[in-house]
Each structure stands twice: as structure tokens, then as C-alpha cells.
Structure 1
Amino acid sequence: MFLPLLTFLGALLSAGPATPDWKTPYEKSNRTQTATYQECISYYQRLDEAYPEIKMTPIGTTDAGKPLHTVVLSTDGDFDPVSLHRKGKTVLLVQNGIHPGEPEGIDATMMLARDLMQDKKLKKQLDHVVLVIIPIYNIGGALNRNSHTRTNQNGPVSYGFRGNSRNLDLNRDFIKEDSKNAQTFATIFRTWDPEVFVDNHTSNGADYQYTMTLIPTQHNKLGGALGTLLKQQMLPALYKGMEKRKWPLVPYVNSRGETPETGIFGFADLPRYASGYTTLFQTLGFIPETHMLKSFDKRVASTYDLMLEFLDYTAKNGKAIQEARRKDRAALLTQQEFVLNWAPDTTQVEIIKFKGYEAKYKPSEVSGLERLYYDRNAPFTRPVKFFDTFRPTLTVTKPVAYLIPQAWSQVIERLRQNQVELKRLTRDTVLTPETYYITDYKTGQRPYEGHYLHTEVQVKKVQQPIQYFAGDYVVYLNQVSNRFLVETLEPQAPDSYFAWNFFDSILGQKEYFSAYVFEDLAAEYLRKDPKLKAALEEAKAKDPALAKSAQAQLNFVYRHTPHYENTHLRYPVARWQGGALPVQ
């Protein structure tokens, strides 16, 4: 009677341990659902425990109170970024879930990490590449799960929300770093110093035949050897590879007209955006944008295949990427002119074959008025203009160093976060640097990502003595961070710290005068200073409003006397062009 039981036990023992189920939540849901935050982290924890080539590490914190994680795939078991760079490995950083309602990258990367461990052919790619993954960047948004906020999107069943725990769009926060997420990202990014960066997204906008579109770092803005490599070699290879995988690729459909046929423009990736930020440190940045109307399974599959293409190209061409980067960083140390802003050069145009759908119009069932729709029964392939050349519109000559009073701690914190090399004055001293006075600017009437952005900033350069104190900061422009420094500390730059309101207190005047008291003093100044009197008369002749206003004329005299505070509108970051300073 015991024989069948013994036979069963023997068979069970001989079968060995059960094979682990490595299907992701996405696969288990029949490709209709994206992993939750906890499912995603738990899955990577399992991979970490199962494979010595994978290490997951919590780093820093986020506005949601939870840490960011990095998942590092390194086949030689070395997880030290300094050591890996020294060995000649190329670092590919993939970030997912910056907008958790656009979750394809979350699920595709989970499968990719697993497959790289379980497929020997794929795993060979990691002989030359270290893959670093941020599983979900916007944790707060991922925890705010719903099924409705991505109104135009075809699946998954439920997903996260675009805003983070503070309702910030993290893809507008890379340079200003209002969120703890962005501060931690800066630590991860500068520590790993990746040669290639990929941030997975889903698009909005027009309808067309493509499942995957791509925003690369704008090649003119990247410049140098890396810009040439990107435009002439890497992008053609990615397009060719995706064509072979049956996912024809097209530039992100950034059209200024109502439909794509009016022309597609390269994306002006300012440093507030992921690819614009990474450009400041000579990293090849990419924003894959799947098309929101394609089914979720196709969007995940195309994201998976595009990441394979990034991995394949980086593995085969890592040495070329590293050499181009070395050249660009060497040139950066002595570069004198820096571009602060760019615009599309509409005289330079490429023609691409675009696979779209006919745009048509019909009466709206809501308003009765004419509405746009795309007729999927009328596909077409036709030439479309692509404007991918940008020209400089604003340049600046770098100083020897920037001088920053220690009072501006928020700015200093951000420089430190980005591993900028800082020196400090060892004693009180009076210096005569170049200073800017803000002469004009426009300010948005509504908040944008928690700020009232300044634009069209105009400055006047003045050389004047300023008292500095021991502990004030000196930032020399002889480091890898040169471009980051220029684009954040020059107030005219569109994403400067001035533009983002970090220096707004200088815009308010702190002292003034009572007119009836200053009248006699102003008259005395005019009697003693013929040049000032002549200047007032000239100004009145040019400005009828000034000529009719007694208060305005008093104010004109006031601003030309020692009584007017010289810190009003004076930008506090000064430009040092002189010699050695007492620093440590």
C-alpha cells in the first residue's frame, strides 16, 4: 500500500526544483496591463537574487518618500562606475516611467533584463556594455494609478499619472530640480556618466502609420564629434535596424501646422528636458515616443526592439562613441564661445518619406462645426519636409570663473548636485568683475511647473568693485561641467537659473525717496553736475511722458546719484576675467 506513495515521492525528488516563472505582470495579463510600482521593483529584486550579473540598489529619495533604484547589468560582476569606465565599458542608461501613463518602457525593460540573462546570444552584448536601468522614475505618478487620464491612448487597462507627488512634470524639471526625483537623478547620472541615455515615452498628436517615433539629442546643439557621429552614423543605423525588425521609424512628429504634411521640425530640447539636460554633459540622449493610438502590445514590442537596437549599436560602436566624447570634452575645456539659444534653420531642409493617413474634415457631432479626423482607410506615403538643422541665436564668451556669493544657497546646492567643482574664497576681498544689470525681461502671466518663467532677458555689462567674503564661491570654467555652468548661470539663457526665478529678489527695489524731501536734494545735484542736467534734458526731449511727469524726472535724477542702491537689478553671479584668486 506504501509503494505508490514511495514511487510518487521518488519521482518528485528526481524532477528537481520547479522552474521559476519569469513571466512579467505584463505577459501574465495577456499583454493588456502594465506592472504596478511594487510588481516592478519586486521583479527586479528577484532578478537580483537569481543572477550575480544583476544588482539593484536604492539611491536617494523622491517626492513620494521612496528611493529611486538603479538596476545594473554587468557580466563581470563589477558594479563600480569608475572601475567600469576605466575598463573601457560603455554605459547605456535607460529610464522608464517619467510619465507613468506612458508605461511601455517599464514592461519592455523588465523583459529585456530577463532575456539578457537567459539568452546567451543577447547576453554577449553585455561583454562591452553596462546597462543601467531606472525602473520607474516618477514613483508618485506610478502610485496614482487610474484608467482615464490618458484620454487619447489605446491601453493599457490602467496606468500611472503624468504629475509626480508634487504634481510636477518631471520632464520639465531636469535643470531646475524642484523635485527630489530630479536631484537624485542628477546624482545617478553624474555618477554613472553614461555615453548613451534612453528615456522611454508615448506620444500625443497626429495619427499616422508608425508605431515608434524618435527624438534624438539635437545634433547641432550636441555639436562636435558626437554630433557628427549621431547624425551621420548612429541615427541611420537605428533607422535601418528598426526597418529590419518591421518597425519603420520616423522622427517625432513635431509639426507646426495642423497636420504632419505641413513639415516636421526637430525638437528644441532645452535643458529642462531629459535629452537637453544630458547634452550638457556630452551624452547621446534619446526619447523614444510610441504612438498612443497603436495597441499597447505593439507599443511595448517596438520599445523592446528599439532598446535592442540601442544595445546592439552601443556594443559594436562603443569605442567610437568614447573617442568622440573624449575629443569633445577635451575641446570643451578650452572652448571660448558658447551658444545659449538656438532656432530651426528653415533654409536647410531634408525630405523624408512619411507614412500617414489622409486628414479630412466633417461636421462635429458635439458642436456641429467642422472637425479634423484622420481616415485610416486612406493611408499614404509621400515626401514631407523635415527641418533638422538648428542655428545659434544667442552666444556668449565664457569667463575665467563665475563668482557666486554664498547667500545663493539654492543655486549652490544644484551645482553640487551636478558634481560641479567649486572653490571658496579664503578671505574677505574686494574684486572688480564683470557684472550684469537686468535691463528688460518678460514674465509669464501664468505659472509653468511652479514658476513664472522669465524670457527675452536683456542685460547690460558693467565692471565695478564688489565686496566678497570668505566662503563665497568661485567656479572656474575649466571642467567637464562648462556647458552646464554657462547655460544655467548666464541669465539670458532660456533655462538659466535666472529664468527659473532663483534670483527674483534682485528685481525688487528695497529703498526709495519721499518726493517732497528729495526735491531740494535733486535740484542741488543738477546744479553741481551739468552732465546730469544735460542728460535729463535729453531724456525729456526723447520721452514726452517723462517731460510731463515730475515724479519720473525725480526718479531719473535719483537713479543717477549715490542714493540709488546699486544692487537693484544687479545679477549676483559675476564674471571673473582676472588672475588668480585666494581660494581653497
Structure 2
Amino acid sequence: MLLTFLSILLQINPVITPGNWLTPFEKSYGKKTATYKECIAYYQHLDNAFDTFKLEEYGSTDSGKPLHIAILSLDKDFNPVSLRRKNKRILLIQNGIHPGEPEGIDASMMLARDYLLKKELQAYLKDVVVLFIPIYNVDGSLNRNSYSRANQDGPESYGFRGNARNLDLNRDYIKTDSRNAQTFTVLFQEWQPDIFVDTHTSNGADYQHTMTLIATQKDKLQGPLREYLTSQLLPQLYVGMQKLKFPMCPYVDSKGESPDSGLVGFLETPRYSTGYTTLFHTIGFVTETHMLKPFADRVKAQYNFLDVLIRTVQKDAAKIAAARQQAIKEMLAQKQFTINWQLDTTTVDTITFLGYEAKHKPSEVSGLSRLYYDRQAPYTKKINYYNTYRASLTVTRPTAYVVPQAWEEVIDRLRLNWVKMRTLRRDTSLTAEVYYLTDYKTGNRSYEGHYLHSGVQVRSEKQRLNYFAGDYIIPVNQPAARFLIETLEPQATDSYFNWGFFDGILQQKEYFSSYVFEDVAAKLLQQYPNLKKQLQEFITKNPEAAKNAQAQLDFVYRHSPYYEKSHLRYPITRIVP
């Protein structure tokens, strides 16, 4: 096999020396994945040999090492603005976000080489530019081991899921804590890809499929992109992989204990790669090769998927451009935006699934019953697929948001995402819609460096507030509208509030000494009869408060002019018509 491969290369390019273009994966006969150093050296080798290929350092990572991007452009143009002007479709392939799941790293190295060497493949690059992030989690790739993926069949060694700060980078797209994510954001906004792929390896159940796929959740796409994805792009990818003897199925997230209970479509919120890219009308895919299949087969499946995708993007280049342009146009005219979703279990499709019977037997460890999949009992059957999500919470978009300059961490993230903003030139007052937090829950354990909030409830009122020169006015009628709404509306799943960027407002800064406020409260009740009535209603509804003097004083305080208006007041306000 190795000699045949070399002979083919020598026929294509006689100056190639034996082994010159073999990747570490190929040299090891499919047992090893490239190290970070080997991977970047290989791409540099391609850069040196071909003027249609360029490797660039794009920024830093938390390890201090650079994040690279490799650009395959048939007309030797490597400028994103120029390429968009030429109406090129841009496909971004990201590898190694979890370096213990490395198939995409090796598949992309071979894919780039083959498209550079084989003239017959270059017809599929006529209208397509392919970008490769060789290894996104450079930090984790450098932390090489052979044990952290306990459920996986090979390779011999690989990187670690956490980055240099022990962050899972596929939870960091919106919060952007890592330098890796900050660099990715710059790269993404500059290139504005039409299609994005994030390569992974699965965990979970055992089944016959080598490749499973997460596509951008269809209900989160604008109509034109949703229609193109579901009726044209996905069917072509599934048929293409079937022809190559790698039948796919959706990512296996079982409704019950095993896949035959039905699969549930993955709802990728903006913390995830494809949830983030969706906010900017980029169709996203997460490829998930099956952990228990031989590493060589997983790399081959990954290679085939990327190859089929490139060919399909070339074939549908005009359709993709038209759908994306129409989607952006519709979004700019949109008034209502969904910020929370719920699975609709009453709507169900069926898919063909190639599985193994799920059975139980006594555990050799505990002696108790354990699940296993019987590979001697394969099956092909139709199973339910739940992949429809309905809006559970919507908001009416404001004309603009007002962001005080004090919230610098948030402003920096808006800038990274090319949000159009202007600053106030002088101190002024504005009438705006203000949110007060009436309820929220906070996780009792740290999650990716934050104590995540959820279940946020708000009430709104209009207030006239003072702002300072340098505070930001952010119009919503701009390409980043969905990004703004899903980060600045506090009830959105991955809002900046839920990630803890505004926790300062949750703490009350002033209070009272009970023995002093007793006299003040008595005067307030005499002065404001309505307040006294409200206190009596409070006691009636809460009988325990009748015996709790502190609770009654607290009620009077919170309904008096002494209570700070900024407590639990969300600092970003909305300008509404």
C-alpha cells in the first residue's frame, strides 16, 4: 500500500522524493497522529512548495504558541476582503479543539496535500477557498499522553482536552476567556466563512456507524439557510458518504438508555463552536467519528466527509451565496428574536440506524447489572429522531442598547465581534427600558471558570438615566444583531449576564441598622399611607412575617427612597421606540 501511494505521487510530480509528502499518520500505517510540531512543519512544507497554499500565524494562544491558519486558494489570493469581492465561497475547517480527538488533524494534512498535488481535484476549488486551522487547542496538543481518552481505540498518543488554563475551548466561544478564542474570533470575523466544520470524536453508545454528524440546529437558521441545509446540503452529504461506504447518522444523543429509544438533535447554544457561528449565518458542522472504531478508519471517514463537503460547496457555490445573503436581509428586518428554545417531542422524524443490541449482564467489578452492546447482534432499523425546537422565550429587538463604559470586559468582546458602536460625546440623560432581576439561579460548582446563572426572570420599566461621555450606544440594525441579542439580553441561555460578567450588580452595597431605621420606618409609614397598605398586604400574604420584625423593616426599606435603585438593575439598557 505504501509503495503504491509513493508511485502515484511520483507520477504526479517527479521531483517528489520517496516519503517526502507522507504524513506522520501514513508513515505509522495509521497508528499515530501528528504532534503539534510535526503538523505545523508539514503545513510549512506545503507552503514552501506551492504558491497556491499559505500558512500564517494569526495570533496567540494561552500556551504562548501561535494559532496558525493554512489557506488553500487556487488563484493565489490570500486576502479575505479580495476573495469575498471575487464571490468565493469560504470553507473553514477547524481541527484539534479537543486534541485527544485528532482525526481531523491528520485528515486535513492529507486533504490539503491531495488538493495541491492532484490536478483533477482542483476543479472543486474554482469558486471555493479552503481554510484549515491545523490545531486549535495548541495548549492541549502539547500536553500529550496515552490515557486521557479511556474509551477510545487509538492513536498511540494524543493531546488533552483542556487548554493551558484547563478550559474546554468548545465552551468558550461566547465568553472568550482564552487567548485561543480571542484569536479565533478575529480570524472568523475577518474571513466570514460560509461553511464551518469542527472535527471531533464521539463518546457514548456503541453502534456500526463510523461517522456521525451534528449540523447547525435547523430551527436556529433563517428560512433560506434552513431550507438549503435541510433539503439540499445535508442530503448530498449523506448520499456522498453512503457511496464511499461510510453511512452517516445524526450525532447519537439517545432519548433513553440506548439509541433505539430515539435520538435527540443537539441544540448548540453560542458557547459551542457551531452555536457561535450560527449567530453570523454560517452553516456549521461538528463531525463525530466513533471512538471505538480503529483510528485509521476514523481518519479515513473524516477525510471523506471533508472531501465530499468541498465538492458540494463548489457545486452549490451560487446557492450558498444567495441563501446567505437572503438570510442576512431577513434578519435585518426581523422584529422578534428567540433567545431560549425547547425540544418539541410531539414532532418526530425517523432515520435508518445501524446499531448493536443493547443488553445487560453482571459486572465483573461490582457484580451488579451493567449495560453492554452486543457486536454479535447488529441491526438495521428505523428509529425516532427528535430534531424540532420551538421558541420558549422571545424578545422584541430594541432600536439600540446602551452599554456604560465601566463594563470593559463586555465592550472588548463586542469589539472582537465587529459590533458597530458609537460613544456619547458628552454627559447626557436618556430615557431607556431598564431590566430588574426578579429571580435567577446560580450553579453551586464552577463551570469553565464561571459560576453560571440560569432561570433568569426580569421585570422592565422605563427610567431616565444619566450617562457619561464615552458610554456606548449600539444600534441593533447591523449584521451582528443576533450576536448582540443573545449576549446582551440577560435571559438568553449564553448571555453575558449568565456567564457572570455583571455579578457586581447582585450585591447590595448599602443597608440599615435596625435600631436606627425603626424610627425612620415609622415616619415613612405615617408619611406614605400607601406604603403602610403595601406592608399590611405583605404580612397577609406572608403570615410568618407578622412575627418577624426584621422582615417588616426590610420590606419598608426596599420600598422607600433609601433603597439603592441600582441593586439588581441590569446595567445595559434598551432604547425602544
Q: SS at the partner of 1:378?
A: strand
2:123 aligned partner: 124
Q: 1:238, 1:266 → 2: CA distance?
A: 17
Residue 266 (structure 1) aligned with residue 265 (structure 2): yes
Q: CA deviation at 1:547?
A: 2.0
Q: 2:382, 2:76 → 1: CA distance?
A: 49
Residue 21 (structure 1) aligned with residue 36 (structure 2): no
Instruction: State which drifts further: 494-503 or 416-425.
Output: 416-425
Shift of the 87–534 alpha-carbon distance from structure 1 to 2, 3 Å rule, reads same
Shift of the 294–18 alpha-carbon distance from structure 1 to 2, 3 Å rule, reads closer
Q: 1:306, 1:164 → 2: CA distance?
A: 27
Q: 1:442, 1:16 → 2: CA distance?
A: 65
Q: SS at the partner of 2:342?
A: strand
The residue correspondences of 1:90-129 to structure 2 (distance < 5 A) are 90-129=89-128
Q: 1:354, 1:77 → 2: CA distance?
A: 43
1:556 aligned partner: 555
2:159 aligned partner: 160
Deviations 1:52-107 (A, max 9, x none): 00011101101000111110000111111111011110000000000000000000
1:173 aligned partner: 172
Shift of the 570–65 alpha-carbon distance from structure 1 to 2, 3 Å rule, reads same
Shift of the 16–394 alpha-carbon distance from structure 1 to 2, 3 Å rule, reads closer
1:422 aligned partner: 421
Q: SS at the partner of 1:455?
A: strand
Q: CA deviation at 1:546?
A: 2.0
Q: CA deviation at 1:19?
A: 6.1
Q: CA deviation at 1:223?
A: 2.9
Residue 517 (structure 1) aligned with residue 516 (structure 2): yes
Q: SS at the partner of 1:359?
A: strand
Q: 1:192, 1:547 → 2: CA distance?
A: 64
Deviations 1:118-170 (A, max 9, x none): 11111111111000110000001000000000000000000000000000000
Instruction: State which drifts further: 478-487 or 255-264.
Output: 255-264
Q: 1:189, 1:508 → 2: CA distance?
A: 36
Could you say what the CA RMSD is over the residues aligned between the two structures, in angstroms? Answer: 1.0
Q: 1:444, 1:505 → 2: CA distance?
A: 17
2:435 aligned partner: 436
Q: SS at the partner of 2:54?
A: strand
Q: 1:309, 1:276 → 2: CA distance?
A: 23
2:474 aligned partner: 475
Q: Are the counterparts in 1 of residues 262 and 383 from structure 2 also a CA contact under 8 Å?
A: yes
Q: CA deviation at 1:17?
A: 8.0
Q: SS at the partner of 1:76?
A: coil
1:3 aligned partner: none
2:406 aligned partner: 407
Q: 2:18, 2:170 → 1: CA distance?
A: 40
The residue correspondences of 1:301-380 to structure 2 (distance < 5 A) are 301-380=300-379
1:504 aligned partner: 503
Q: SS at the partner of 2:316?
A: helix
The residue correspondences of 1:75-90 to structure 2 (distance < 5 A) are 75-90=74-89
Q: SS at the partner of 2:347?
A: coil
Q: 1:90, 1:76 → 2: CA distance?
A: 13
The one-letter amino acid paired with 1:552 is A
1:486 aligned partner: 485
1:582 aligned partner: none
Q: 2:426, 2:185 → 1: CA distance?
A: 31
Residue 381 (structure 1) aligned with residue 380 (structure 2): yes
Q: Are the counterparts in 1 of residues 222 and 330 from structure 2 also a CA contact under 8 Å?
A: no
2:133 aligned partner: 134
Q: 1:561, 1:18 → 2: CA distance?
A: 84
The one-letter amino acid paired with 1:194 is P
Q: 2:282, 2:515 → 1: CA distance?
A: 61
Shift of the 118–538 alpha-carbon distance from structure 1 to 2, 3 Å rule, reads same
Residue 30 (structure 1) aligned with residue 29 (structure 2): yes
1:49 aligned partner: 48
Q: CA deviation at 1:18?
A: 4.4
Q: 1:74, 1:159 → 2: CA distance?
A: 30
Q: 2:56, 2:473 → 1: CA distance?
A: 34
The one-letter amino acid paired with 1:398 is R
Q: 1:232, 1:391 → 2: CA distance?
A: 20
Instruction: State which drifts further: 287-296 or 550-559.
Output: 550-559
Q: 2:471, 2:354 → 1: CA distance?
A: 57
Residue 535 (structure 1) aligned with residue 553 (structure 2): no
Q: 2:18, 2:81 → 1: CA distance?
A: 37
- Paired residues, number: 564
1:8 aligned partner: none
Q: Are the counterparts in 1 of residues 208 and 355 from structure 2 also a CA contact under 8 Å?
A: yes
2:196 aligned partner: 197
Q: SS at the partner of 1:341?
A: strand
Q: 2:76, 2:489 → 1: CA distance?
A: 43
Shift of the 382–19 alpha-carbon distance from structure 1 to 2, 3 Å rule, reads closer
Q: 1:18, 1:152 → 2: CA distance?
A: 39
Unaligned runs of 5+ in 1: 1-14, 579-584
Shift of the 151–317 alpha-carbon distance from structure 1 to 2, 3 Å rule, reads same
The one-letter amino acid paired with 1:426 is R
Q: 1:204, 1:21 → 2: CA distance?
A: 35
Residue 451 (structure 1) aligned with residue 450 (structure 2): yes
Q: 1:212, 1:16 → 2: CA distance?
A: 36
Q: 1:155, 1:102 → 2: CA distance?
A: 10
Q: 1:318, 1:397 → 2: CA distance?
A: 34
Deviations 1:365-416 (A, max 9, x none): 1000001110000000111100011111010001000000000000000001
Instruction: State which drifts further: 449-458 or 543-552.
Output: 543-552
1:544 aligned partner: 543
> Which aligned segments of 4 or more residues in structure 1 are displaced greater than 3 angstroms?
15-20
Q: SS at the partner of 2:60?
A: coil
1:11 aligned partner: none
Q: Are the counterparts in 1 of residues 222 and 331 from structure 2 also a CA contact under 8 Å?
A: no
The one-letter amino acid paired with 2:348 is V
The one-letter amino acid paired with 2:423 is R
Q: CA deviation at 1:545?
A: 2.2
Residue 526 (structure 1) aligned with residue 535 (structure 2): no
The one-letter amino acid paired with 1:75 is L
Q: CA deviation at 1:232?
A: 1.1
Q: 2:329, 2:420 → 1: CA distance?
A: 17
Q: SS at the partner of 1:386?
A: strand
Shift of the 462–17 alpha-carbon distance from structure 1 to 2, 3 Å rule, reads closer
Q: SS at the partner of 1:433?
A: strand
The one-letter amino acid paired with 1:576 is I
Shift of the 529–48 alpha-carbon distance from structure 1 to 2, 3 Å rule, reads same
Q: 1:282, 1:178 → 2: CA distance?
A: 23
The one-letter amino acid paired with 2:507 is G
Q: CA deviation at 1:256?
A: 2.8
Q: CA deviation at 1:418?
A: 0.8
Q: 2:89, 2:191 → 1: CA distance?
A: 10
Q: CA deviation at 1:469?
A: 0.3
2:9 aligned partner: none
The residue correspondences of 1:187-266 to structure 2 (distance < 5 A) are 187-266=186-265
Q: 1:544, 1:138 → 2: CA distance?
A: 57
Q: CA deviation at 1:288?
A: 0.3
Q: Are the counterparts in 1 of residues 195 and 284 from structure 2 also a CA contact under 8 Å?
A: yes
